[in-house]
Chains A and B, each alone.
Chain A
C-alpha cells in the first residue's frame, strides 16, 4: 500500500471515529450518567435495559 493510500485510509478511520465520539457525547448529554459503564448495575438490570431498548 502506497504512503498516499495509507494516509487516505487513516484519515477515513479518524473521521468515522470522530463521528462515533460525537454520537456518544450527544447520547451522554441526553441521558447523563455512566450508562452502565461503571459496572455498578446488576446483570439483571442490564439485561432489562437491553430488552427495553428492543
Chain B
C-alpha cells in the first residue's frame, strides 16, 4: 500500500511564508555524524546552553543569519540512530519532533545531518523524519570521508529521490556552509516526496492510531501518522519528565494491536522496520557509486591488531605503561627547576623582610602552599598531551571496546566504560556522561563507582608520596611508574569490584548489550592537542592561583593562631597549639590506627575541598614546622618529620597507605554536589561518602597493620 507523505495544505504554507516569524530549525542526526560541529560552525558562539526541564539532557539553542540578515534559531537536538528512544536523550529528540514537550516549540523545519560515508544507516532516521511532513534539509556531511572510503554519493540524485534540498558539506573544514545557509534562507522549502510500502496487514493499525492521535492528542495528520508508525515499532517504552503523556484511548489501541500481533505470532514491528530498510536500500543503490572495490580499510587493518582479543590487551597495557613512564622520566628536569625557583623565592623573601607574620604568610602560606602544587605542572602537561593524542587518533573508542568484555563480567558494559574513562581526568564530567546510559540501575551504579577512578587531582598526592617514598636519584623511573600504575589499577579494580557488588545486591538487572561505532583512525592534529593541553594547564594554574592559594592562606592562619603563650615555643608546639592543630588532634584517634598523625589529619580535612589541597596543606604545615632561614623541598621536610617519640612519620608504609587512602576516599566536595544533582537526592551522595571513605579506612587499616606486623 502506498501512503502519501507529502500532502500539506497550500493555505498553511502560504500563511507560514507570510508570517514575519523566522522559522525555528531543529538539527538532528546520528551520533558521530558531525551534527554538533555543523551546529557550532553555523551558530558560532551565538548559543544558549541549558537543560530540558526535569531531565538532565542538554538543550542548545543557537542563532544563525539568513542571506537577508534575518536571525534564524537552530535547536541542536541529541544524536540518535532512530526515533525509537532507548535513553533520555533520545526520548527528548522524539518528544520535541512530535511536539510532545510543553517547554520546547515543535520546530518548523528540520536539518538532517547525514554521514555520507555511512549513508544507509544514517538514512533510517531521515526516513522517519520525512514521514513527519515537515520541510527538511539534508546536510550530506563528511563528503571527504566518503570519497576516501571509495564512495561517490550523488547528492543531486538523492535530492531528486527525496524531494528535499540535499547540501553536500564538510563541517570540519567549513565547506558547504554557504549552500546550507542559502537553503535555510529560502522562504518556502519543498516537501518530501519519498514513498515506501507499509505492509498491508499493518495499515489498519496505523490508520486507527493515526485517527486517535489526531483526535485525542491534537496532532497534525502527517505527524500523527509518523507517530503511529513509531509507536507500532517501539511501543513507547522510554518516557521522560516534561513529556506530554499519550491519552488513555491511544494507549488502549496500542495495547490491543500489540496483543493481537502477539497472539497471532507475527512480528509486525520487525516487518515494519525491515520494509523501511528495504526502501532505504533501494535508494542507496541509486545514489551511491563505489569508485573502487571495497576491501578492508586502513582502520579495519589497524583494528585487526588493536582490537584483537590478545594483542589488543598487549597494546593497551604497553600504551598505559609508556604514558606513566614518560610522566616520570620526561618531567624530572622541569620539576627540579620549578622546585629550585620556589626555594630561591622563599630565600629571597626571607632575606628582604624582617621576621614577622606577613613574612611567614608569604613564605610558608603562599609560596609554601602553592609552590608544591605548581611543581607538578610538567607532569600534568605530559599526561594531558598523551590523553589528547589517544583521543585525537581515535584510540579511546578502541579502549572502550576492549574493556567491554571485563565490564560485562561485573554486570556493566562498554557504555559505562566511557564515563569511567572520563573519570580518570575528573569524576564530574564522567558522572555527567552517564546520562547516555539508558538503564537507570546501570547509570546509578556507574555514578557510584566513577569517583574511584584515579582523577588528575589525585596525581599531585601520588607524586608527592612517590617522591617521598622513592627519592629521585636512587630509584629508577620504571619503579616509580610501576607504583603509580599500581594506584591506577587499584582504583580501576576497586570500581569494577564495587560495580559487581552493587549489581548483585542493590541494583540487580541483566547486563545490557553494547553497540558502539568505532570512528576511523585519524592522524593526530597537533594544534588541537596542544590547545587542549594548554587549556588544561591554564585551568590547573588558575585553580592553584585561586582556590588552593586561598585555602593555603586560611590554613596558614589556622596553623599560626592562636599564638603559643611561650614565645620560645618550637614550630611543632606552635602548630599543636593552633586551631588546625586542635582539629587534627580531635581526628587523630580515628586515623592513628592507619599510621597517620594529627598533622596528616589536618591535610585530610582540608583536602575534602579538593584532593590536591593535601599537598599544599603539607607544604604549609611542614613549612611552618621547618626552619625559616633554610627552606627545604617538601619531600625532604616530610622525610624529616617525626612522631613525638622520634620515630619517622612518613615511613614507606605510611606513604603507601596514604596513597591507598586517596585511591578510595570520597575527598571531593564538587563531586558530592554533582552526584546530588544527577540523582536528585542526598541519599546517594551520602551513601557514596560512607562506602568510599569506609572502604578507604578499612583497606588502609588492614595494609598498615599487616605491614607493621611484617616489620615495615
Contacts and interface: CB of A to CB of B under 8 A. Distances in A.
Nearest to A15: B557
B674 A32 contact: yes
B547 A34 contact: no
A1 B429 contact: no
A12 B640 CA distance: 33
A38 B358 contact: no
A18 B78 CA distance: 42
B550 A21 contact: yes
B355 A3 contact: yes
Contacts of A18: 554
Contacts of B557: 10-11, 14
Contact of B359 (A6, A14, A36): A6
Given A14-B557, A21-B554, A34 B670 contact: yes
A17 B550 contact: yes
Interface string B670-681: 100110110000
Contacts of A48: 45, 47, 49
Given A32-B677, A43-B535, A44-B40, A38 B426 contact: yes
A24 interface: yes
A40 B428 contact: yes
A3 B677 contact: no
A47 B565 CA distance: 53
A47 to B, nearest CB: 6
Nearest to B537: A39
B367 to A, nearest CB: 14
A41 to B, nearest CB: 8
A15 B49 CA distance: 36
Interface string B438-471: 0000000000000000000000000000000000
A51 to B, nearest CB: 6
Interface in A24-54: 24, 28-29, 32-34, 36-40, 43-45, 47-49, 51-52
Contact of B358 (A6, A32, A47): A6
Given A3-B357, A14-B554, A51 B428 contact: no
Q: Is the interface of A mostly helix, strand, loop or mixed?
A: helix
Given A9-B358, A33-B673, A1 B531 contact: no
Contacts of B276: none
A24 B549 CA distance: 13
Sort chain B's interface into a size bin. Answer: 35 or more
Contacts of A33: 428, 432, 670, 673-674, 677
B354 interface: yes
Nearest to A36: B539
B684 to A, nearest CB: 14
Contacts of B540: 39
B553 interface: yes
Contacts of A14: 361, 553-554, 556-557
A28 B428 contact: no
Contact of A38 (B356, B425, B553, B677): B425
A20 B550 contact: yes
Contacts of B547: 21, 24, 37
B536 interface: yes
Contacts of A17: 550, 553-554
Contact of B49 (A1, A39, A43, A45): A45
Nearest to B366: A13
Contact of B428 (A10, A29, A34, A49): A34
A40 B539 CA distance: 10
A5 B557 CA distance: 16
B428 to A, nearest CB: 4
B539 A1 contact: no
Contacts of B553: 13-14, 17
A38 B47 contact: no
A18 B556 CA distance: 12
Contact of B361 (A5, A13, A29): A13
A21 B551 contact: yes
Contacts of B312: none
A10 B673 contact: no
A10 B357 contact: yes
B15 interface: no
Nearest to B535: A43
Contacts of B535: 39, 43
Interface string B553-564: 110110000000
Contacts of A7: 356-358
Given A7-B356, A7-B357, A10-B361, A47 B45 contact: yes
B11 interface: no
B422 interface: yes
A51 B359 contact: no
B613 to A, nearest CB: 12
A26 to B, nearest CB: 13
19 contacts: A1-B353, A1-B354, A1-B356, A3-B357, A6-B357, A6-B359, A18-B554, A24-B550, A32-B676, A32-B677, A33-B677, A36-B539, A37-B543, A37-B670, A38-B428, A38-B539, A39-B539, A40-B425, A48-B45
6 interchain residue pairs of minimum CB distance: A6-B356, A40-B429, A32-B673, A38-B426, A6-B358, A10-B357
